[in-house]
Amino acid sequence: MDIAALRRELDGLKVEDNEKIVQQKSRDFYWYSPLLKRELEHVTGDLIVSPKSEAEVIRVLAACHRLGIPVTPRGAGTGNYGQAMPLSGGVVLSLAEMTEVKSIASGRVVCQPGAIIADIDRATRTHSGQELRLHPSTYNTASIGGFIAGGSGGVGSINFGGLRDFGNVLRLRVVTMEAEPRVLELTGENLHKVTHAYGTNGIITEVEMPLTASYDWVDLIVGFDTFMAAARYGNALACQDGILTKLITPIAAPAPFAYFKRHQKFLREGQSICVVMVAPHALDAFLAFTRREGGEIVYSAAIASPEDKKGLPPAYELAWNHTTLRALRVDPAITYLQSLYPFPNQLALVENMEKMFPGEVFSHLEFVRFDGNITCFGLPLVKFTTEERLDEIIRLHEENGCPIFNPHRYTLEEGGMKQTDAIQLAFKREADPRGLLNPGKMIAWENPDYDYRSEKTFLFKGLQAG
């Protein structure tokens, strides 16, 4: 790679080649997985380029296309699967400088991809009392473009489903990587070409997202003697259409007391919990429902004293993958899985898996709407011992009807598709004919003959040299 020639071509743009900074900006939260930590530890780019506008993005892509230099886009680097890590080196295209919230209207917001999700919500709340429908637990640090390209759902999915559901992204503006890059406006079914595609087939330069009414959500923790009691409560609460919630998260003992250090004073050892966010106007109904269901309110932000609230993270930072992060801070041997408990048998499946790995896998559910039905995803905490045992735990989940979206793989397909996404692949052929965008993340491009049934981990040839 002729990096010196590229630097000349990009004169006037913000470019960083300090080795330590380049390495830092070449990483995400891949280390949640001991397998990815081993495989990706050495990965680094050659240069960080931080465009401030779509015109600068086009300039970078055109120059890199001419010189045959790979480009890996990066938002805030809060992903967990190596999505934003440059497996072939080259340019890490940081979109963190493109942060403008361009317009806010009834039901929609238009912004640049580097805008931090919490900042978007601050702007939309101030403007018109609205907020984004969905956000990850990394709300305060994640960018909207990174969430769309690397995420799948999160806080708010109990009402609106996932990012790939129609209507949860309205429009994307995307730049292709060709000799003369094109700017494409994608809407409707065309959005599926680039949502959750890790930037393998185009660089997002503008985002239009739907908004919903905003509330000063009330954080609550409900305690239970057993995890299944918490799970049944979460499922029943999710089905209460008159009680507006934004988060319903059952977590099995011993995790809450052991890992939620700042909330520990509200919890008992051996107690399972359900973390909930409730709209203020629904609070009385929620409390009545919880009394009827036998739950114990162990923490309520509505009545907690300023002293009790001091230093507490928000409820969503106990949920989704922040649960894993809090566990890892206490016990570095912890890792996690991502599973689906399909409707309508979700509670039976949850109970079956809960019994199967005592002391080794600690259940953690997130209730969501999935194809219009209430069900739950699992992000169980796993005490990691060996890769073989982790594979066995995955196999046992799948043999028992619980599909795994494997967070210990860095490719699109192995993370959950288990097959080629023909739409994304066809669009990559059109938008990135030289295969220079985020190489190594799309198996169908790197190895069209790959057998997805082989159960072998795909290893990108660019990593083997490392």
Domain contains 394: yes
Instruction: Assess whether 81 and 108 both reside in one domain.
Output: no
Instruction: Assess whether 17 and 73 both reside in one domain.
Output: yes
- How far apart CA 122 and CA 269 sit, in angstroms, is 37
The CATH number covering residue 147 comes to 3.30.465.10
CA distances in angstroms from 356 to 151, 250, 420, listed in the order given? 29, 18, 32
Instruction: Assess whether 255 and 386 both reside in one domain.
Output: yes
Instruction: Assess whether 313 and 188 both reside in one domain.
Output: no
The CATH number covering residue 21 comes to 3.30.43.10
Domain contains 271: yes
Instruction: Assess whether 181 and 268 both reside in one domain.
Output: no
Domain contains 108: yes
Instruction: Assess whether 160 and 60 both reside in one domain.
Output: no
Domain contains 252: yes
Task: Decide the pairing of beta strands 272-278 and 218-224.
Answer: antiparallel
Whether residue 173 contacts residue 164, with contact meaning beta carbons closer than 8 Å, is answered with no
Domain contains 463: no
Instruction: Assess whether 223 and 274 both reside in one domain.
Output: yes
The CATH number covering residue 236 comes to 3.40.462.40
Instruction: Fill in the DSSP letter of residue 314.
Output: P
pTM: 0.95
Q: Give the residue from 268, 376, 378, 279 showing the smallest Cα distance to 323.
A: 378
Domains in the chain, number: 3
pLDDT of res. 448: 86
Instruction: Assess whether 202 and 166 both reside in one domain.
Output: yes
Q: Is the link from the previous residue into 433 a cis peptide, with omega within 30 of 0? A: no
Residues 6+ apart with CB under 8 A from 338: 377, 378, 379, 404, 405, 406, 407, 416
pLDDT of res. 458: 79
Q: Which of 353, 376, 405 is the last residue of a domain?
A: 405
Per-block mean pLDDT, blocks of 10 residues, the chain (466 long):
96 96 95 94 96 98 98 94 94 98 98 98 98 98 96 96 96 97 97 92 97 98 98 98 98 98 97 98 98 98 97 97 97 96 97 96 97 96 97 96 94 76 89 96 89 74 58
The number of CA neighbours under 13 Å toward the Cβ of 266 is 26
Instruction: Assess whether 335 and 284 both reside in one domain.
Output: yes
Q: Give the residue from 205, 138, 143 showing the smallest Cα distance to 174.
A: 205
Q: Which of 94, 129, 163 is the last residue of a domain?
A: 94
Domain contains 145: yes
Instruction: Assess whether 340 and 384 both reside in one domain.
Output: yes
Query: Residue 298 corresponds to which amino acid?
Result: V
Q: Which of 405, 435, 458 is the last residue of a domain?
A: 405
pLDDT of res. 50: 98
Domain contains 430: no
b/e sequence 322-331, b meaning 16+ C-beta within 10 Å: bbbbbbbeee
Tokens of 377: 């995803």
Could you tell me the residue range of the domain that residue 152 belongs to?
101-214
Domain contains 256: yes
pLDDT of res. 415: 77
Instruction: Assess whether 147 and 64 both reside in one domain.
Output: no
- How far apart CA 200 and CA 434 sit, in angstroms, is 11
Instruction: Assess whether 285 and 381 both reside in one domain.
Output: yes
